[in-house]
Amino acid sequence: MENIDQLKTLLAIPKDIVITSHRNPDGDAIGSSLAMYRYLNTQGHTVRVIFPSEYPDFVAWLPGAEDIIIHDIEPEKADEVVQRADLIFCLDYNSLDRIDKLGETIGAQNDATLVMIDHHLYPDIQAEFQLSVTSASSTCELVYDFIKMMDDLKVIDKDLGECLMTGILTDTGSFKYSTSPRLFRVVAHLLEIGVDDYKLQDLIFNSQQEKHLRLLGHCLKNRMEIIEEYQTGIIWLNRRDYEQFDIQRGDTEGIVNYLLKLKNVKIAAFITEQPTIVKLSLRSKGDISVQKIAQDHFKGGGHKNAAGGSSYGTLRGTINRLKQILPQYHQELLKQ
């Protein structure tokens, strides 16, 4: 962020600030938002956090989660708060179409200054202030950087550190992806100020209910297809599965990653039938870009090795479409 000094000047006077993150917020979305919420509160601003939709239970214990406004539940309140804002922070997303109706309200709010902090490819928000670093592990890592640029690292206490650590743990799959020496330096600092990484791992990853493991078993036994020729694995769920297993938001988190445990699988797809769309969650190993597959064929985006998109076709039609486009990526698979 080259114009950080300008932002420092703006933030030197108490402001009305709204922090937003993407639909179906994950650990990084909520961790980065609540970390920024705590930081800006310490600086004397009036701060509200708004998400388009509800957050999953495994992050409900995070300090400040109870203050979040959910646009799906309180649309008028959320819109009113956005309309009053002097500054709007966009965290962990880079296109207003990732936040549905909330995006329309922000798009129509011409008086607020936008600040985007994100690590996804191809930013598409006209923000006056942008910290867009696609090599960063998580938006939480970038919120740490932002606080450092503001010369306020001393403000990071244990609670704020727990918020940051949550997004780092979830977006790196507990340090399996997108790690770097500087990420480990950030993490070392967080541990030094008292963040308990074991406790967080337990709260985030060992909080499942019996139905989650039953669902996982069903996915692996009955819903998994391996396409050897294209080193691709697919797991799909239809509407009936959603009813049978009482699947709620967040319950399918992480299932796609099981496909990558297979040595010969380089592309993993988790495809689910939602009320109005079919949603795709894509993962890959090495140089294969699922971001490109998501963007070119499923109106989506994300990162090279983790992306998502959607389709208005049927579940079967979407699975077939994915299978049809795999030959295009065959050459890249052969290189691996």
- Which positions touch Mn ion (CB under 5 A)? 28, 92, 139, 171
Cβ neighbors of 184 (< 8 A, separation 6 or more) are none
Work out how close the CB of 302 gets to ligand 5GP at its nearest, in angstroms, rounded to a whole number.
3
Q: Which does 310 bind (CB under 5 to 8 A by kind): ligand 5GP, Mn ion, none?
A: ligand 5GP
The closest of 69, 70, 116 to 95, measured between CA atoms, is 116
The closest of 55, 128, 129, 119 to 93, measured between CA atoms, is 119
| Joined tokens for residue 79 | 């819109």
Indicate the residue among 30 and 215 with the shorter CB distance to Mn ion.
30
Cβ neighbors of 143 (< 8 A, separation 6 or more) are 32, 35, 36, 39, 91, 117, 164
Classify residue 224 by its DSSP letter.
E
Interactions with ligand 5GP, residue window 3-62 (CB under 6 A): none
Residue type present at position 190: L
Q: What distance in Å separates the CA atoms of residue 65 and residue 53, rounded to the nearest whole number?
A: 13
Q: Which does 28 bind (CB under 5 to 8 A by kind): ligand 5GP, Mn ion, none?
A: Mn ion
289 binds ligand 5GP (CB under 6 A): no
Helix (H) or strand (E) holding 118: strand 113-118
Indicate the residue among 75 and 123 with the shorter CB distance to ligand 5GP.
123
Q: What distance in Å separates the CA atoms of residue 36 and residue 99, rounded to the nearest whole number?
A: 19
38, 302, 311, 329: which one binds ligand 5GP (CB under 6 A) = 302
Indicate the residue among 103 and 302 with the shorter CB distance to ligand 5GP.
302
Work out how close the CB of 22 gets to ligand 5GP at its nearest, in angstroms, rounded to a whole number.
6
Interactions with ligand 5GP, residue window 61-120 (CB under 6 A): 98, 120
Indicate the residue among 233 and 302 with the shorter CB distance to ligand 5GP.
302
Q: What's the residue count for the chain?
A: 336
303 binds ligand 5GP (CB under 6 A): yes
311 binds ligand 5GP (CB under 6 A): no
Q: What distance in Å separates the CA atoms of residue 82 and residue 161, rounded to the nearest whole number?
A: 27
Q: How far from the centroid of its chain's Cα atoms is residue 63's Cα?
A: 19
The closest of 142, 141, 112, 108 to 127, measured between CA atoms, is 112
31, 103, 161, 309: which one binds ligand 5GP (CB under 6 A) = 309
Work out how close the CB of 99 gets to ligand 5GP at its nearest, in angstroms, rounded to a whole number.
11
Work out how close the CB of 60 gets to ligand 5GP at its nearest, in angstroms, rounded to a whole number.
19
Residues that bind ligand 5GP (CB under 6 A): 98, 120, 281, 300-303, 306-310
